[in-house]
Chain A
Amino acid sequence: MNQYQVSPAEKKFIGSHLLVAILALAVGSLFGPLQAFEHAGWDFYPYLKPLIKSYYQGLTVHGVLNALVWTTFFIMGFLTFNVIFGLKRPLKNPTLNKVGFWLMVVGVVTAAIPILANQATVLFTFYPPLKASWAFYLGLTLVVVGSWVEGWGLFMTFYAWRKENPNERSPFIAFASVVTALLWQICTLGVATEILTMLLPWSLGLMENVDPQLARTYFWFTGHPLVYFWLLPAYISWYAMLPKQAGNGKMFSDTLARLSFWMFLVLSTPIGIHHQYVDPGVSPTWKFLHSMFTFGVFFPSMMTAFTVVASLEHGARKNGGKGALAWIGKLNWSDPSVATQLLAGILFFFGGIGGLANASYNVNLVLHNTAFIPGHFHLTVATAVTLSFMGISYWLVPYLTGKKLWQPKWATIQAWTWFVGMIIFSNSMHVLGLLGAPRRVPLGLAPYVPAEWNSRLIQVGIGGAILFVSGAIYLLVMLKTALNKETVEKEVEVPIAESMQDPANTPVWLDRWAPWIYGALALIVLMYGPVLFEMISNIALNAPGFGKGPIW
């Protein structure tokens, strides 16, 4: 089979994204188990003092490197691959994409310096008036701007393809990748405004005080759709690649897959206030409206669940799968890229349930800022997304480098250990949260911990230990693959699941961009306009900053 040839230079460019991503994960994930051990009463932080001053400096590294750097770099690399391979054409302007990539790299380094110097122990949410070194905010700005520039490179490539193929339906993986990049451009306007109008000038001394409630509102404008920026690339793989890998299944519905991507674009930004249900400065009316819209965005997730499971079932049945559930055993579990993503998908069902509970308006009173929240997002971003990305890398890295995957057996063990470790870790975190344990607290030392939490805290540590092993195996497999002397005989085949229905039969309106973009912007104006107008017209810049010294 002759597949489209991505040029060696482009492969290298995509590979550089993965390299930065995996390095970030390697450092960032080190702290996860340390935090989990601390919860269990096994405190390693005293030994880290020469390098890392505190639990919170480590937590900042963990949040920034894992949730922001690992994800963003992997995603930009994967989207770039999908656009090139999907459209079967090179990037329109590779220099532009390169500039974007290097801006991101410079940004990461700029932000990493103050974090490592303990000048930015503000966690990955950096809520003011916690005040970090200006370099931290500047670095984040460069990462965001770099990702925009890379996004523009993808849009230009898509546009060029459209000019060349005016009547064709866009290939699904390219279409979905461009939607994801577009969602990112729109949603980052919030955090860009927060940093550029407040945090950066403030940290540079050009501005004395900030308005923390307004800053939070800008932040969560970006913060919620951010989770869709993480998830959609995993969805692309689940929709369009996994069914092929798992049993030669076909994508159950091209139409609904596209529709759900549009719904994510339109619905995921105007619901950010569901992170601010218990903020004092936002009216309950808007909180309630955002909660109802949040229920709306659950809808495309339900559609995704159906389409993905049905596409998998389609392959499994063709391979002789029987019964109501027994067909699941016929999926290609021995391929580590499949095992990771299937296990990621299973845990994502539970992540979705927790997310729906969080988002259910007053139900948030039970859960807000408890250990339930990290319990929840380690199922979503740290498993559904991270474990899927690991699975993608199990074919993508051999594809890009021409090296054979080192010991697929170990990669399969990695998948299962992550799954088991995460079940133990996350289940105990959820329960702790329901019992009232707060997040962002070194619970091993907290004075108010009742005896009934103890057994659960130990389980957090046990889960963390298993996850540590799993993470180490992943890095070992990646390292050994990169150094592997054995090369693949012929280029790795890119798994693309055909659509069961001919994409040419997908309605044209699902391939038009303008109406959806206008719709997304209109909903943002509707759902955020009045809130922001009110807050900005009553802005009170009266909160001075607090940073290193009094605070950490």
Chain B
Amino acid sequence: MSTQKMHIDSYERNWMIVSAVLLVLFATAVSVAAFGLGIQVPAPEQRVDPRTVATDPNSPWSNPGLREVAPGKYDAYILARAVPTWEYLPKEMTIPAGSSVSFYVTSSDVQHGFKIQDTNANFMVIPGQVSKLTITFDKPGTYNFICTEYCGSGHGVMYGAITVTP
């Protein structure tokens, strides 16, 4: 009984080979973008206590905002919150073109999202966790950042803007 051989039609075998090659191709392209071009997904950064992160004077999110850490290099500490109302703190930031900004975003209540339009910054904001990505803004203009995870009835009005000056 167990001598039965698996029968696979030659067309189907070729199709499976094509599928495998295709997937290897995609995997390679993704790896090149990640490890060659530095387009990476967020990594664990820091854990915080969502109950005190906005109020503890030692927490950078008790005084959210932009800090210039080196010429043209900034850290942006951003608090996302639904209570008392749906907003990011700060709501607006201005930087000169060519600046590179590391965003450190956390939440003091429910889950939120953070997506800066026309960039690859797009991640979850989870209470207790700090999300970080770094973006370089070469083109002047206004970049809205919007909430992309349901956080209550004001979810659709939760946004802010980065102004990049020439």
Using a CB–CB distance below 8 Å, which chain A residues touch chain B?
54, 56, 123, 127, 129-130, 211-213, 216, 252-253, 255-256, 276-284, 287-288, 291-292, 295-296, 298-299, 302-303, 306-307, 310, 356, 360-366, 368-370, 436, 438-443, 445-448, 501, 505-509, 538, 540, 542-544, 546, 550-552
Contacts and interface: CB of A to CB of B under 8 A. Distances in A.
B4 A256 contact: no
A56 B153 CA distance: 7
B58 interface: no
B49 to A, nearest CB: 5
Interface of B: 1-2, 4-9, 11-12, 15-16, 19-20, 23, 26-27, 30, 33-34, 39-45, 47, 49-51, 82-84, 109-111, 113, 115, 117-118, 120-132, 144, 146-153, 155-157, 159
Given A129-B127, A306-B15, A505-B4, 14 more contacts: A129-B109, A129-B110, A211-B128, A253-B9, A284-B43, A299-B16, A299-B23, A362-B34, A365-B120, A366-B120, A370-B115, A507-B6, A546-B109, A550-B83
Nearest to B145: A448
Contacts of A441: 155-156
24 contacts: A130-B110, A212-B126, A255-B6, A279-B126, A280-B123, A280-B125, A281-B128, A291-B30, A299-B20, A302-B15, A303-B19, A306-B16, A364-B41, A365-B39, A365-B41, A368-B113, A369-B115, A369-B149, A440-B155, A445-B156, A505-B4, A507-B5, A540-B47, A546-B82
B118 A436 contact: yes
B16 A303 contact: yes
Contacts of A370: 115, 148
A551 B124 contact: no
B12 A256 contact: yes
Tell me which of B5, B16, B44 has the highest count of chain A C-beta atoms within 10 A of its own C-beta.
B44
Give 10 nearest A-B pairs by CB, closest first: A551-B152, A369-B148, A280-B131, A278-B123, A280-B129, A302-B19, A441-B156, A438-B148, A295-B23, A440-B150
Contact of A123 (B33, B47, B150, B153): B150
B159 A447 contact: yes
A255 B44 contact: no
Given A255-B8, A307-B12, A447-B157, A551 B151 contact: yes
A127 B7 CA distance: 47
A283 B40 CA distance: 11
A363 B159 CA distance: 23
B16 A448 contact: no
B41 to A, nearest CB: 5
A416 to B, nearest CB: 30
A276 B125 CA distance: 12
A542 B12 contact: no
A213 B127 CA distance: 8
Contact of A302 (B16, B41, B123): B16
Nearest to A276: B124
Contact of A298 (B15, B19, B42, B115): B19
A362 B30 contact: yes
A543 B23 contact: no
Nearest to A288: B34
Contacts of B8: 253, 255-256
Contacts of B124: 276, 278-280
Contacts of B39: 362, 365
Contacts of A448: 144, 146, 159
A363 to B, nearest CB: 7
Given A360-B26, A365-B120, A443 B41 contact: no
B23 to A, nearest CB: 4
A501 B12 CA distance: 14
B40 A362 contact: yes
A362 B156 contact: no
Contacts of B127: 129, 212, 542-543
Nearest to B105: A280
A365 B128 CA distance: 22
B83 A438 contact: no
Nearest to B118: A436
A544 B127 CA distance: 10
Contacts of A279: 42, 123-124, 126, 129
A283 B122 contact: no
A280 B113 contact: no
Given A280-B130, A507-B5, A540-B47, A287 B16 contact: no
A505 B7 contact: yes
B122 A366 contact: yes
Contact of B128 (A303, A443, A540): A540
A366 B120 CA distance: 6
Contacts of B153: 54, 56, 551-552
Nearest to B34: A362
A543 B50 contact: yes
Contacts of B11: 306, 310
A363 B37 CA distance: 13
Nearest to A367: B122
Contact of A438 (B44, B118, B147): B147
Contacts of B7: 253, 255, 501, 505
B19 A299 contact: yes
A287 B44 CA distance: 12
Contacts of B33: 362-363
Nearest to A364: B41
A542 B50 contact: yes
B148 A368 contact: yes
Contacts of B23: 295-296, 298-299
B126 A213 contact: yes
Nearest to A123: B150
Nearest to B106: A280
A552 B154 CA distance: 8
Contacts of B2: 507-509
Contact of A216 (B20, B49, B126): B126
